[in-house]
Structure 1
Amino acid sequence: MNKVLVIMAVITIALVAYAFHTAQIPPASIEYKEVFYIDNQSVTFVTKDGVGLFTMRIEPHVDSFELKIAFPKGTSYLVRYGDMSYRGSDEFRIQVEKEGLPGEVYVQFQLPPELTKEIVYQKGQAEILITGDKIPMWHAEDVIYIKYRKESKS
C-alpha cells in the first residue's frame, strides 16, 4: 500500500510542477487604441516614412510584473509611461506596479528605412511582440503586425 501512495504522490507532484511550468495566465489585461483587428490579426499602421503610434491601457491582475515590447531590429521608439519618456531601440522593458500605473501608455516608433520600404512598397509586414511576465506562472504574449495602409485619393 505504501508503494502505491508514494507512486501517486510522485505523479501528483510531477503534474503540479508541469502545470506551473506550462501555465500561461496573463498578468494584466491590455486594451489597445490605434490597433485594429483585421483578418484575425492585430494590426497597427505606419505612415510612408515608417512612423507608427498606438496606446495601451493596462489593468494589472498582479503587482510588479515585467512588461516588454520587442520591436523589429533597428526600430527606434519613444514610450511615454506616466510622466516619464523612454527613448531607445529594439526593445523596451519596464516593471509595472499597481501603484503609480498611468492611465495610458503611449508608444511611438520609427522603423528603419529598409524595413519601411519593404512594408510600404512590397506589401511586407513586421511585428511587435508585447509580453508580460511574472514568475512562476504569469505570462502573456500579444503580437501586433505592422502594415501600411494606402490612402485612397478622393
Structure 2
Amino acid sequence: MNKALTIMAIITIALAAYALSTSQIPPASIEYREVFYTNNQSVTFITKDGVGLFTMKISPHVNSFELTIKFPEGTSYLIRYGNENYKGTNEFKVTIDKDTVPDEVYIQFQLPQDVTKKLIYENGEVEITIKGDKIPVWHAEDVIYVKYWKEERKP
C-alpha cells in the first residue's frame, strides 16, 4: 500500500509541476488601439514606407511583471511609456508596476526596407509578439500581424 501511495504522490507532483509550467494566466489585460481583428487575426497596418503605429492600455492583475515586445528582425522602434521615450531595435522589455503604469503606451515602428517590400508586393506578413511574464504562473502571449493596407481604386 505504501508503494502505491508513493507512486500516486510522485504522479500528482509531476502533473502539478507540468500544469504550472504550461499554464497561461495573463498578468494583465491589454487593450489595443489601431489593431484590428480580421480573418481571425489581430492585425496592424503599415504605410508604404514601412511605418506602423498602435497603442496599448495595460491593466495589471499582478505587480512587477515583465512586458516584452518582439519586433521583426531589423525593425527600429520608438515607444512612449509614461514620460519616457525608448528607442531601439528588435526587442523592447520593461517591468510593469501596478502603481506606475501609464494610461497608454504608444508604439511606433519602422520595418526594414526588404521586409516592407515583401509586405507590399508579395502580400507577406510578419509578426509582433507581445509577452507578459511573471514567474511562476503568470504568462500571456499576443501576436499582432503586420500587413500593408491596399486601397482599392475606384473607376
Whether these two folds match at TM > 0.5 is: yes
Identity of aligned residues (%): 66
Tell me the distance in 1 between the aligned counterparts of 2:92 and 2:46: 19
Alignment root-mean-square deviation, CA: 1.1
Residue 151 of structure 1, CA deviation: 2.7
Deviation at 1:100, TM superposition (A): 0.6
Q: State the Cα distance separating 1:153 from its structure 2 match.
A: 4.8
Structure 1: give runs of 5+ residues left out of the alignment: none
Are 1:83 and 2:68 matched, yes or no? Answer: no
Residue 73 of structure 1 and its aligned partner are, at CA, apart by: 0.5
Aligned-residue offset at 1:15: 1.4
1:5 equivalent in alignment to 2:9: no
What does 1:1-154 correspond to in 2, within 5 Å? Answer: 1-153=1-153
**What amino acid sits opposite 1:71 in the alignment?**
F
Report the Cα distance in structure 1 between the residues aligned to 2:33 and 2:118, rounded to whole angstroms: 25
Superposed structure 1 runs of 4+ greater than 3 Å apart: none
TM-score scaled to structure 2, two decimals? 0.95
- Offset of residue 11 of structure 1: 1.7
CA distance in structure 2 between the aligned counterparts of 1:90 and 1:4, rounded to whole angstroms: 52
Give TM-score, length-normalised by structure 1.
0.96
Partner of 1:12, secondary structure, is helix
Number of aligned positions between the proteins: 154
Amino acid paired to 2:100: G
